[in-house]
Amino acid sequence: MADQHDEVDRIVTAWERERPDLTFSPLQVLSRVGRLSRHLDHARRDAFTRSKLESWEFDVLSALRRAGKPFTLSPKQLLTQTLVSSGTMTNRIDRLVGRGLVERRTDPHDGRGILVVMTATGQAQVDAAITRLVDAESELLSSLSDDDQQILASLLRRLLLGFDAL
């Protein structure tokens, strides 16, 4: 594969010819990350659409699913996991309740508080979506060996940890 070239190689070669005073190694990496991001966005949209979910619905339902049985979180916990505003979360919960994917219940430990509980329908849809998503993402990575995928994951983790520290 070392002799194969992609569109990023062609772009960088042209820039190197036109601007030999610059180092284009960041484009070698981040232009590819950007292009991969577009492929990933498409795969995710397809997986969610086939599961009859919007991406924001998947985000909320997957937070509840990852919480484990009884698939219950407070709105504040959902805010923390999905990084949206309180008003946005309230709207999202309302819409998910309307679709029968979650229910609101009074917190048994705090009669003033509420809990968001995923319904069986919500669990079935998020389980279908995550299965489709993992399958689609596996396909995107199919040209890499398991070892290469682990190396890439480690390098990307290191890069992201640098951003998270900012």
Please write the tens of the pLDDT for every residue from 68-101.
999 999 999 999 998 899 999 999 999 999 999 9
Query: Which pLDDT score, from 0 to 100, does residue 108 have?
Result: 86
Determine what percent of the chain is predicted with pLDDT higher than 70. 98
Please write the tens of the pLDDT for every residue from 42-76.
999 999 999 999 999 999 999 999 999 999 999 99
Q: Would you say the pTM of this structure is higher than 0.85?
A: no
Regarding the domain delimited by 53-137, which CATH topology (the fold level of the hierarchy) does it fall under? Arc Repressor Mutant, subunit A (1.10.10)
pLDDT at 3 over 80: no
Please name the residues in contact with 132: beta carbons below 8 A apart, sequence gap of 6 or more. 46, 47, 50, 51
| pLDDT classification of 7: cutoffs 50, 70, 90 | very high
Please name the residues in contact with 158: beta carbons below 8 A apart, sequence gap of 6 or more. none
Indicate the domain borders of the chain.
1-50, 53-137
Q: How far apart are CA 46 and CA 53, in angstroms?
A: 10
Instruction: Tell me 112's DSSP state.
Output: E
Mean pLDDT, residues 125-135 = 96
pLDDT at 1 over 60: no
Instruction: Collapse the DSSP code of 132 into the 3-class scheme (helix H, G, I; strand E, B; otherwise coil) and give the result.
Output: helix
67 neighbors 73 (Cβ within 8 angstroms)? yes
Can you tell me which residue has the tokens 């070239």? 5
